[in-house]
Structure 1
Amino acid sequence: MLRHWHEAVPNDRMAHLLKDTMRAFDRSLRARLARHGVQMGHWVYLRILWERDGLTKRELSMEAGVAEPTTFIALRAMESLGYVRLEQRADNRKNVYVHLTDEGRQLKGVLVPLAEEVNAIALQGVPEAEAAAARRTLLTMLDNLSRDEAQGD
């Protein structure tokens, strides 16, 4: 794959480069999470809940960009692992609220350093100013594509 990017098609589309880079990030983090028995799908939800605990299942699905049935399956598995507690309130039986357990909260201290390690590996040899410029560029690209998507709706 690396030869492909450096030699065969060095000027290929940005989307392909980003996709392959994301896959490499994903593989690296997935391997580290697996050593702690955590699935990548659970990582997505844990990251959100560490910032905003107590979301509804629907809110969590929207934040993660995942369909509600998929989220519900993951949450049931996370509940059985002791990471989250699912709760319905007497005043609103329709909504399912998702709360981290103590074990789910404690995973943050174990797992976040793994993601930071992956980022550090990816940025080895990249000057700080170039990393900051890449981040600004990617955010601009994301903003542009989000606007384009909204205009298409």
Structure 2
Amino acid sequence: MKSAQKSDEEATLENSLGYLVRDTHRLIGKMLNSRLERVGIRVGHWYILRSLLQEENITQRELSARIGMNEPNVVTSLRALEKQDIISRTVDEKDGRCKRVALTKAGRELAFSLLPIVREVNDIIGGPLNDKERAQLITLVKRVRQGLE
């Protein structure tokens, strides 16, 4: 009887690691989106800008893989960002089929101006944790992610 009871407890959503991670991701996305929308930026666009702050002049395919967004959606977002002069796309010198993506001066300024918003969200996320717990959580989440790749 005890093992059946334990199985029932493990089956609840509140004890499901997958559900908890997914629901937490949903809540974080909602919070980030509401703050970014105030300045006219979509979350998907932020992921692109943040990735390009780390490394520019990467291919659209590399960008897509880094942010976990499918290529057609990335291309649609890049077109919108290019129209706003936030990013530029150039044909790859070695492979004319590929386009490389970089931030424009305005795009770099915009991305840096958004960092305080993202820091605020990260501070809220980590708010209930002390520094040691936050570092442990980051380590554990990275380990889980690595195990799934």
Which TM-score applies when normalising by structure 1?
0.82
Matched, 1:57 2:60: yes
User: Residues 5-25 of structure 1, C-alpha deviation per residue, up to 9 Å, x if partnerless?
Assistant: xxxx58520111111111111
What is the correspondence of 1:1-153 to structure 2 with a 5 Å cutoff? 9=12, 11-89=14-92, 92-146=95-149
Deviation at 1:71, TM superposition (A): 1.3
Q: CA deviation at 1:66?
A: 2.2
Match of 1:5 in 2: none
Query: Does the 8 Å contact 2:90/2:99 carry over to 1?
Result: yes
For residue 120 of structure 1, report the CA deviation from its aligned partner: 0.7
Structure 2 CA distance for partners of 1:129 and 1:70, relative to 1, 3 Å: same
Moved more, 24-33 or 92-101: 92-101
Alpha-carbon distance change, 139 to 92 in structure 1, aligned in 2, over 3 angstroms: closer
Gaps of 5+ in 1: 1-8, 147-153
Further displaced range: 24-33 or 126-135: 126-135
Q: Return closer, same or farther for 1:93/1:115 CA change in 2, 3 Å cut-off.
A: same
Q: How many residues align?
A: 138
Alignment partners' CA distance in 1, 2:14 and 2:87 = 45
Specify whether residues 82 and 144 from structure 1 end up closer, same or farther in structure 2 by C-alpha distance, changes over 3 A only. Answer: same
Separation in structure 2 between the aligned mates of residue 19 and residue 119 of structure 1, nearest angstrom: 17
Please give the secondary structure, in 2, of the residue aligned with 1:15.
Answer: helix
Report % sequence identity: 30
Partners of 2:65 and 2:138 lie apart in 1 by 24
Shift of 1:116: 0.8
> What residue identity is the alignment partner of 2:133?
E
Unaligned runs of 5+ residues in structure 2 are: 1-11
Q: Alpha carbons of 1:10 and 1:131: their partners in 2 closer, same or farther (altered >3 Å)? A: farther
RMSD, aligned α-carbons: 1.7
Moved more, 18-27 or 84-93: 84-93
User: Aligned in 2, Cα 1:142/1:89: closer, same or farther, shift over 3 Å?
Assistant: closer
